[in-house]
């Protein structure tokens, strides 16, 4: 009886309980909707921050890539520096041989001319000594002395003739050495050009990535200053483009690097038409690749009045480097460089004038003032 009553009560309450459960779910969903509506929507400031962070990450990635490519180029340039050095030595050797050949030819010409003036007299004297002496009537004692003098002249002429023969033989040897040296230089140039072409292809392939990593702000500033100052004076260009430092960076000896294969042919402070030289000049091998002696940012890259193609690099700490006289440039304004990275190349090999040595002009400046770069550039290699 009690069990039947409990079942009846449960059946009677079931519709009520079934209606109460959806009501609780509906009420909970209503609260969630109200909470969602009350939550603040993403603001424009948050979106800008996300975009800025993404741009910063992209810039960091591009910079890292450009640095890696620059280091790869620096290693490639260092690997071909030995080939370029050999080419420069072969060109210098050929120049020395050609200079010696020119001197020998000049001495031979002079000796032959002197001999040619005396030969007719000696020929006549040897065939007709009596008539030759009688053409100038002299007392007997003077005639005897004349014969003795002529005999001495004949001996001197014989000695000079032997010298002419020796100089002829020397000239022939130098001509043969010149031909061998020219062939050796041509072979060195061929090997160098193959290595240079591979490096050039690597540089061309990396240019887009390097430009993506360029310091655009520095480039814009440099372009603005270039337009304002017209950059017709090297002092104004360096002082306008490279910011000074309250305490210029110290420059330890050999902390830089030789920028090109070759030797210094004009020292710092040497006398020039414009006064004491404020930089050094390298005699380079033909087509030699020029590398930056420091890491930094390219503040100027292009043709400059009376300097040719020139690159000004801000090395930081008020230190800047000027490299001028290149035939071709591999870098652009605003580009960041690693130490030893190629920035350009010198004039190539000219078969019609193989000994004409290209020259690279290098200046080192601290807060715009030129300083002697010799010891700083004493570091070996290209990087």
How many Å apart are CA 280 and CA 364, to the nearest integer? 9
Q: What local confidence, expressed as pLDDT, does residue 295 receive? A: 94
- Name every residue whose Cβ is closer than 8 Å to that of residue 319 and which is 6 or more positions away in sequence: 245, 248, 249, 251, 294, 364, 365, 366
Strands (E), 217-341: 262-266, 271-272, 275-276, 280-284, 289-291, 296-304, 308-316, 319-326, 328-329, 336-337
Q: Are strands 296-304 and 289-291 parallel, antiparallel or unpaired?
A: unpaired
Q: Are 372 and 268 in contact (CB under 8 A)?
A: yes
Q: How far, in Å, CA of 54 to CA of 72, rounded?
A: 27
In whole angstroms, give the CA distance from residue 111 to residue 118.
Answer: 11
Count of other CB atoms within 10 angstroms of residue 169: 11
| Segment among 12-21, 67-76, 322-331, 345-354 with least mean pLDDT | 12-21
Whole-number pLDDT of residue 307: 92
Whether 279 contacts 361, CB under 8 Å: yes
In which band, very low, low, confident or very high, does the pLDDT at 276 lie, cut at 50, 70 and 90?
A: very high
Buried/exposed code over 262-279 (b: 16+ C-beta within 10 A; e: otherwise) = bebebebeeeeeeeebbb
Partners of 159 in the β-ladder: none
Judged on CB neighbours under 10 Å (0-12, 13-18, 19+), 358 is buried
Please state the rounded mean pLDDT for residues 283-296.
93
Does the pLDDT of residue 19 top 50, yes or no?
no
For residue 237, the model assigns a pLDDT of: 86
* Of 310 and 126, the one with more pLDDT: 310
Given a cut of 50, is residue 377 above it in pLDDT?
A: yes
For the stretch 205-241, pLDDT in tens is 776 655 554 555 556 655 655 555 456 688 888 888 8
List CB contacts of 165: < 8 A, sequence separation 6 or more: none
| Stronger pLDDT, 213 or 342, i.e. the higher one | 342
Percentage of the chain surpassing pLDDT 90?
Answer: 25
Examine the pLDDT at 16 and tell me if it is beyond 70.
no
What pLDDT band is residue 165 in, cutting at 50, 70 and 90? confident
Predicted confidence (pLDDT) per residue in 68-126, tens digit: 888 888 888 888 888 888 888 888 888 888 888 888 888 778 777 776 776 666 666 66
pLDDT at 264: 93
Q: Which residue has the higher pLDDT, 170 or 230?
A: 170
For the beta sheet containing 328-329, the strands, ordered from the edge strand earlier in sequence to the opposite edge, are 289-291, 342-345, 328-329
Nearest to 300 by CA among 383, 227, 199, 381: 227
- Report the range out of 201-205, 232-236, 363-367 with the highest average pLDDT: 363-367
SS3 state of residue 299: strand
Instruction: For 315, list phi and psi in degrees, rounded to 5.
Output: -90, -5
DSSP 381: S
Beta strands in 180-295 (DSSP E): 262-266, 271-272, 275-276, 280-284, 289-291
For residue 149, pLDDT over 80 is answered with no
More confident residue, 306 or 33: 306
Helix (H, G, I), strand (E, B) or coil at 265: strand
Q: What is the mean pLDDT of residues 28-32?
A: 48
| pLDDT, averaged across the chain | 76
Q: pLDDT digit string (tens) for 174-185?
A: 888 878 887 888
Q: How confident is the model at residue 360 (pLDDT cuts 50, 70, 90)?
A: very high
- Output the pLDDT for position 260: 94
- Cβ atoms of 330 and 379 closer than 8 Å: no
Among the ranges given (107-116, 326-335, 370-379), the one the predictor scored with the smallest mean pLDDT: 107-116
Q: In this structure, what are the phi and psi dihedrals at residue 363, rounded to the nearest 5 degrees? A: -125, 140
Taking the CA atoms of the chain, what radius of gyration do you get in angstroms?
42
**With 70 as the cut, is the pLDDT of residue 379 above it?**
no
């Amino acid at each position: 009886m009690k069990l039947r009553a409990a079942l009846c009560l449960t059946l009677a309450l079931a519709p009520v309980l079934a209606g109460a459960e959806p009501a609780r779910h509906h009420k909970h969903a209503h609260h969630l909707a109200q909470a969602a509506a009350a939550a603040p929507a993403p603001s424009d400031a948050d979106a800008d921050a996300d975009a800025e962070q993404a741009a910063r990450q992209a810039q960091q990635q591009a910079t890292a890539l450009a640095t890696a490519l620059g280091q790869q180029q620096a290693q490639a340039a260092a690997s071909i520096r030995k080939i370029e050095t050999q080419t420069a030595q072969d060109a210098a050797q050929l120049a020395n041989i050609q200079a010696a050949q020119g001197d020998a030819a000049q001495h031979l010409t002079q000796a032959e001319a002197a001999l040619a003036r005396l030969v007719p007299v000696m020929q006549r004297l040897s065939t007709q000594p009596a008539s030759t002496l009688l053409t100038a009537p002299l007392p007997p004692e003077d005639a005897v002395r004349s014969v003795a003098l002529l005999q001495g002249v004949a001996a001197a002429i014989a000695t000079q003739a032997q010298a002419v023969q020796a100089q002829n033989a020397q000239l022939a040897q130098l001509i043969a050495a010149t031909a061998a040296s020219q062939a050796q230089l041509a072979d060195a140039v061929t090997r160098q050009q193959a290595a240079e072409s591979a490096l050039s292809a690597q540089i061309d392939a990396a240019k887009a990535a390097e430009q993506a990593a360029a310091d655009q702000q520095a480039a814009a500033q440099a372009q603005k200053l270039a337009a304002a100052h017209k950059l017709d004076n090297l002092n104004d260009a360096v002082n306008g483009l490279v910011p000074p430092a309250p305490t210029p960076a110290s420059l330890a000896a050999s902390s830089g690097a030789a920028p090109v294969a070759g030797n210094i042919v004009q020292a710092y402070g040497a006398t020039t038409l414009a006064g004491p030289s404020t930089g050094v000049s390298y005699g380079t091998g033909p087509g030699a690749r020029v590398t930056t002696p420091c890491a930094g940012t390219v503040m100027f890259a292009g043709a400059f009045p009376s300097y040719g193609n020139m690159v000004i690099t801000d090395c930081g700490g008020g230190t800047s480097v000027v490299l001028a006289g290149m035939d071709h440039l591999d870098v652009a304004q605003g580009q960041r460089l690693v130490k030893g990275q190629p920035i350009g190349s010198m004039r190539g090999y000219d078969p019609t004038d193989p000994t004409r040595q290209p020259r690279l002009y290098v200046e080192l400046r601290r807060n715009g003032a030129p300083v002697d770069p010799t010891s700083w550039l004493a570091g070996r290699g290209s990087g």
